[in-house]
């Protein structure tokens, strides 16, 4: 990952600035359905778990089979209740900048399907009158493994994706009187924590390599109900740069006014006007 952004949409419920139609979102949802169906087809009626030569289940191969590495430009971290907003943003990024986007909820459903198939095969105590009873201990064991697999897969994807955008909305974070930000989602906490500590890899596109070298040679990189478990995320959010609707529109305007469409859309987000000024300077 190169950079992460904290996109504050708390005051933009209608998201009219995206200009994305319902038809475009439906087309995108159909693409996601195709991807989900591919993942679902990896499970048979009687699930066959990959095993090594010793007969033990190969957990790493199961991760690769079910949560394959996705090559994308942007990783969108979001609350389950903000799924449609995430899709709207994904369509906007692809439509205007040609960026490929990974939405984390794509694999959440895969993990739940995998867990259900494993439990139906290995954890059932009894089936009576349409009701299924599961072995509590085995169920805990399978859940911990599948969730760890999902966490590992998401961490790998964040590491390999160039840019992370966190949808900061009232659905994903709560703010108390002291203005501390917290989330009750362990998945959001895990993704923000990963983004704050993952290695930072420069994209090194040839068109801006010299600009990045010059910029970073003079500037130091800024550091930048009854059971409701909360995870403080102020520290993780401080590692993400701020974004809002106005800055998104500025990004699009800068990209559209560029005469050189070979410039990668994310580079315009990272460096803005400085990118174009430096290119003019180097061209002299």
pTM of the prediction? 0.74
pLDDT band at 278; cut points 50, 70, 90: low
Distance CA 241, CA 157 (A): 20
pLDDT band at 248; cut points 50, 70, 90: very high
Domain count, the chain: 1
**Contact, 170 vs 201, CB < 8 A?**
no
- C-alpha separations of 83 from 36, 43, 280 in Å: 15, 25, 41
Question: Which is it for the CA torsion 69, 72, 28, 192, positive or negative?
Answer: positive
Whole-number percent of the chain with pLDDT over 70: 71
Least confident piece of the model among 8-17, 163-172, 190-199, 222-231: 222-231
Scanning the chain, the segments in alpha helix (DSSP H) are 22-40, 59-66, 83-97, 105-122, 136-160, 186-197, 209-218, 234-237, 245-257, 265-271, 273-283
Neighbours of 82 (CB within 10 A): 21
Q: If you average pLDDT over residues 158-183, what whole number do you get?
A: 87
DSSP bridge pairs for 103: 76
Neighbours of 189 (CB within 10 A): 18
Distance CA 256, CA 25 (A): 22
- Token pair 């909360």: residue: 230
**For residue 70, pLDDT beyond 80:** no
What lies within 8 Å, CB to CB, of 149 at 6+ separation is: 59, 62, 63, 66, 67, 111
Closest CA to 160 of 214, 199, 190: 199
**Contact, 36 vs 109, CB < 8 A?**
yes
**Contact, 76 vs 104, CB < 8 A?**
yes
- Token pair 């859309």: residue: 265
**For residue 235, pLDDT beyond 60:** yes
Residue 130, Ramachandran bin (φ over 0: left; ψ between -120 and 50: alpha; else beta): left
Q: If you average pLDDT over residues 43-68, what whole number do you get?
A: 64
Q: Output the pLDDT for position 191.
A: 92
Owning domain of residue 218: 3-283
**For residue 106, pLDDT beyond 80:** no
Distance CA 242, CA 4 (A): 9
Give the model confidence (pLDDT) of 187-207 as tens digits. 899 999 999 998 888 776 655
**For residue 93, pLDDT beyond 90:** yes
Q: If you average pLDDT over residues 24-43, what whole number do you get?
A: 76
């Amino acid at each position: 990952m190169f950079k992460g952004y904290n996109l504050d949409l708390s005051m933009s419920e209608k998201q009219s600035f995206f200009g994305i139609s319902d038809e475009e979102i439906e087309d995108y949802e159909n693409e996601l359905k195709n991807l989900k169906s591919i993942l679902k087809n990896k499970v048979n009626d009687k699930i066959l778990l990959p095993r090594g030569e010793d007969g033990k289940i190969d957990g790493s191969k199961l991760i690769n089979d079910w949560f394959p590495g996705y090559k994308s430009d942007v990783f969108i971290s979001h609350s389950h209740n903000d799924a449609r907003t995430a899709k709207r943003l994904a369509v906007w990024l692809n439509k205007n900048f040609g960026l490929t986007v990974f939405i984390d909820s794509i694999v959440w459903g895969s993990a739940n399907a995998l867990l259900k198939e494993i439990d139906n095969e290995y954890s059932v105590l009894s089936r009576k009158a349409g009701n299924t009873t599961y072995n509590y201990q085995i169920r805990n064991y399978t859940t911990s493994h599948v969730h760890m697999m999902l966490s590992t897969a998401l961490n790998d994807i964040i590491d390999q994706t160039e840019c992370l955008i966190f949808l900061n909305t009232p659905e994903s974070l709560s703010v108390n009187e002291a203005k501390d930000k917290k989330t009750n989602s362990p998945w959001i906490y895990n993704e923000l924590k990963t983004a704050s500590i993952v290695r930072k890899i420069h994209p090194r596109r040839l068109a801006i390599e010299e600009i990045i070298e010059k910029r970073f040679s003079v500037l130091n990189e800024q550091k930048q109900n009854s059971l409701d478990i909360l995870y403080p995320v102020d520290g993780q959010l401080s590692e993400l740069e701020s974004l809002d609707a106005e800055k998104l529109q500025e990004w699009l305007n800068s990209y559209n006014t560029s005469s050189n469409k070979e410039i990668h859309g994310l580079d315009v987000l990272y460096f803005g006007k400085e990118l174009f000024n430096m290119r003019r300077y180097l061209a002299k």
